[in-house]
A and B are shown apart, each in its own frame.
Chain A
């Protein structure tokens, strides 16, 4: 039996028209819930990017004793060069360190003038490949000859590492929970819409319509609702990202931190495609499942 295409198309359109309130309820449910999912996914992308930047800025300093021998300094240099954990490092000589010192205490002449160049420790500024390796690298130099002190923002680095990994897990969880909630909400709305039309399904069964024949228009409707709802969510996420990004770009420097929450256009497109796929799949499968409940003989 060939499917009567004209029938399926006409039935789908007229059902959507006649059940405007139910159809738009389903559509808006899809749109709102997928917007939340998309938002959560994009925030997660932003945090990922920011995390990479924050971690990239972690540094540790190996201060040599001011009177350390050149050979001791060379040994540290060689050691750093050989370590795979070290991404880069540079040597800050006594005069450079002294300039820095003077700049830091520019407003306190008493302190500034209390030291001479020779009393200032030279140092190695080391950038680790991964923020998590900072501690390991530091420990290697704690007892090395000629090293005065290894210094890094120990607690801050630890906090950064644990906070960002926690944030990422949290955002994944939020996105997953929202996705599950969205699916259930969409399913439920479709089920209500179909429940409102169970008389129609009963008549179709009575006159001998096959189950697939009954299902197809409902599935097509679900597909359309899912697609349009997801497209709306896509648009909202897109515009929302633009607005937020331009606000941040236009802001003064004191919220420089937020500029690292960069979300690129391709992130949004990728998320949008995911939303469309989810909308279509949940809409179609949801309708098929919902109508099946009324098809059992």
Chain B
């Protein structure tokens, strides 16, 4: 589903974000990406949605070499990938329902599809009752659920989550993880970067550890800090 070969990325001022990274993620896999701040986790996610271009190396997503993708096809790539962020990135002037519906509307889905899909996915994340609330009227966990609903409403092949529990307390985080696990079980590949050791240790999924842009560990059913 995701394949990287010898991918390097250096930002301005010789900041090395990724160095010669090669990686394969199979369909329906659940992968944690761990490592200290600045180890290249976020860069990896930005490369996968082609928000950044690698300096070297090639990246395949869903069987397509995204380096060869012409710029007008980038939106089509992004429709196959749902994204969840630490800061939710919800639109403050839209309700929960509208935020989710927005994701379908802007890719041109007809109104009847929107009316059918949005309540369904809001039910999946357990927010049916809060559908008409604005983001500032919801808790952090609820906002993250809206953002997961938005990422998933289009039934993407891949869900990328960049520290989705970074702003949430432990018990709320557990709920979010259950949700991501459920989504994974529907057949969606999930790649999640995190700092949260307890989550990684309880889930026991594949763990990829990055350190200053270098892959230092790739372990099936791993834990957060294997070498410490």
Surface stretch bound by A, among B99-107, B172-180, B183-191: B99-107
- Assembly CA distance A23 to B107 (angstroms): 25
Q: How far is the CB of B77 from chain A (nearest CB, A)?
A: 7
How many whole Å from A214's CB to the nearest CB in chain B?
A: 7
What's the minimum C-beta distance from A170 to chain B, rounded to whole angstroms? 48
Mark each residue of chain B from 52 to 86: 1 if its CB lies under 8 Å from any CB of chain A, else 0.
Answer: 00000000000000000001101111110001000
Contact assessment for B108 and A297 in the assembled complex, using a CB-CB cutoff below 8 Å: no
A7 to B102, CA, bound (A): 9
A195 to chain B, nearest CB (A): 16
Contact status B78-A208, CB under 8 Å: yes
Check A208–B111 contact: CB distance below 8 A: no
- Interface flag for B50 (CB, 8 Å): yes
Q: Confirm or deny: B93 has a beta carbon within 8 angstroms of a beta carbon on chain A.
A: yes
Q: Is the beta-carbon distance between A208 and B89 smaller than 8 angstroms?
A: no
Which residue, A1, A11, A297, has most C-beta atoms of chain B within 10 A?
Answer: A297
| Whole-angstrom CA separation of A214 from B108 in the bound complex | 11
Interface size class of B (residues with CB under 8 A): 20 to 34
Residues of A within 8 A of B93 (CB): 18
Instruction: Contact check, A297 vs B51: say whether CB atoms are below 8 A apart.
Output: yes
Say yes or no for B13: interface residue by CB 8 A criterion: no
Separation of A213 and B74 alpha carbons in the complex (Å): 14
Whether B78 pairs with A205 at a CB distance below 8 angstroms is: yes
A207 to B103, CA, bound (A): 6
Per-residue interface assignment for chain B, residues 80 to 98, with 1 indicating a CB less than 8 Å from any chain A CB and 0 otherwise: 0001000001011100000
Please tell me if the beta carbons of B91 and A203 are within 8 angstroms of each other in the complex: yes
Do the beta carbons of A7 and B105 come within 8 Å of each other?
yes
Q: A interface, by DSSP: helix, strand, loop or mixed? A: helix
Whether B49 sits at the interface, judged by CB under 8 Å, is: yes
Chain A, residue nearest B53 (CB)? A297
B204 to chain A, nearest CB (A): 30
Q: Are A2 and B108 in contact (CB under 8 A)?
A: yes
CB neighbours (8 Å) of A200 from chain B are 91
Q: Are the C-beta atoms of A206 and B83 separated by less than 8 Å?
A: yes
Instruction: List chain B residues, Cβ under 8 A from A199.
Output: 89, 91-92
How many interface contacts (CB-CB < 8 Å) are there between A and B?
66
Give B154's nearest chain A residue, CB to CB: A207
Complex Cα distance, B78 from A7, in Å, reads 20
Question: Among residues 117 to 150 in chain B, which have CB atoms less than 8 Å away from a CB atom of chain A?
Answer: 150
A95–chain B nearest beta-carbon distance, Å: 89
Are B108 and A213 in touch, CB under 8 angstroms? yes
Which residue of chain A has the shortest Cβ distance to B78 in the bound complex? A208
Enumerate chain B interface residues (CB-CB to A < 8 A): 49-51, 71-72, 74-79, 83, 89, 91-93, 102-103, 105-111, 150-151, 154
The yes or no answer to A117 lying at the interface (CB within 8 A) is no
Q: Is the CB of B79 within 8 A of A4?
A: no
Give the docked Cα–Cα distance between A41 and B106 (Å): 43
Contact of A208 with B107 in the complex, beta carbons under 8 Å: yes
Decide yes or no whether A210 CB sits under 8 A from chain B: yes
Quick check: is A6 within 8 A (CB to CB) of the other chain? yes
Q: A206's contact among B72, B78, B111, by CB below 8 Å, is which?
A: B78
Contacts of B51 in A (CB 8 A): 297
Whether the pair B111, A4 counts as a contact (CB closer than 8 A) is yes
Task: Find chain B residues with CB under 8 A from A207 CB.
Answer: 78-79, 83, 102-103, 106-107, 150-151, 154
Assess whether A52 is interfacial by the CB under 8 Å rule.
Answer: no
Are A204 and B106 in touch, CB under 8 angstroms?
A: yes
Known contacts A18-B93, A207-B150, A208-B78; is A4 also within 8 Å of B109 by CB? yes
- Contact between A210 and B111 (Cβ–Cβ < 8 Å)? no
- Which chain B positions have C-beta within 8 A of A297? 50-51, 71, 74
16 residue pairs from A and B, CB less than 8 Å apart? A2-B108, A4-B110, A7-B111, A199-B92, A200-B91, A203-B89, A203-B91, A204-B102, A204-B106, A205-B78, A206-B49, A206-B89, A207-B78, A208-B77, A213-B107, A297-B74
Are A210 and B75 in touch, CB under 8 angstroms? yes
